[in-house]
Amino acid sequence: MKITDVRVRKLSDEGKMRGIVSVTFDDAFVVHDIKIIEGQSGLFIAMPSRKINETEFRDIAHPINSEMRSELQDKILEAYEVAKERAEVEEEESMAKEPAVD
């Protein structure tokens, strides 16, 4: 199974969540709402989950082995960095177009 598309749907600078992505596999199956989280050791991904009781959550979809998790995380974080850089460039271009206020 190959990762054929990673779409960063949301970027955030607030809190620990840095983004939300959707990943397509083999151009045929998509998993939405994978979160990019900033932890103490850097960025990592959190798979979509649902609440099963007051304190517990269970992943809805997740990689079965560490190789797939590593490949998935690498591709997601790579797409996140590209989207973040693009957003920063767009913000700089937008600010450069604004008229100067004296």
Residue 46 lies in a domain: yes
Instruction: Report CA Rg, the chain.
Output: 17
Q: Which domain holds residue 76?
A: 3-97
Residue 49 lies in a domain: yes
49 neighbors 32 (Cβ within 8 angstroms):
no
Cα–Cα distance, 96 to 102 (Å, whole number) = 15
Residue 27 lies in a domain: yes
Backbone angles phi, psi at 29, to 5 degrees: -145, 135
Residue 94 binned pLDDT confidence (cut-offs 50, 70, 90): confident
Query: Three-state DSSP class for 58?
Result: strand
As for how many domains the chain has, the answer is: 1
Per residue in 41-92, pLDDT tens?
A: 999 999 999 999 999 999 999 999 999 999 999 999 999 999 999 988 888 8
Residue 91 lies in a domain: yes
Tokens at 31, concatenated: 């998993």
Residue 87 lies in a domain: yes
The count of other CB atoms within 10 Å of the CB of residue 6 is 19
Q: Is the pTM of this model over 0.75?
A: yes
- Assign residue 27 the CATH number of its domain: 3.30.1120.40
Tokens at 8, concatenated: 């960063």
Residue 102 lies in a domain: no
Q: Could you give the maximum distance between any two Cα atoms of the chain, in Å?
A: 59
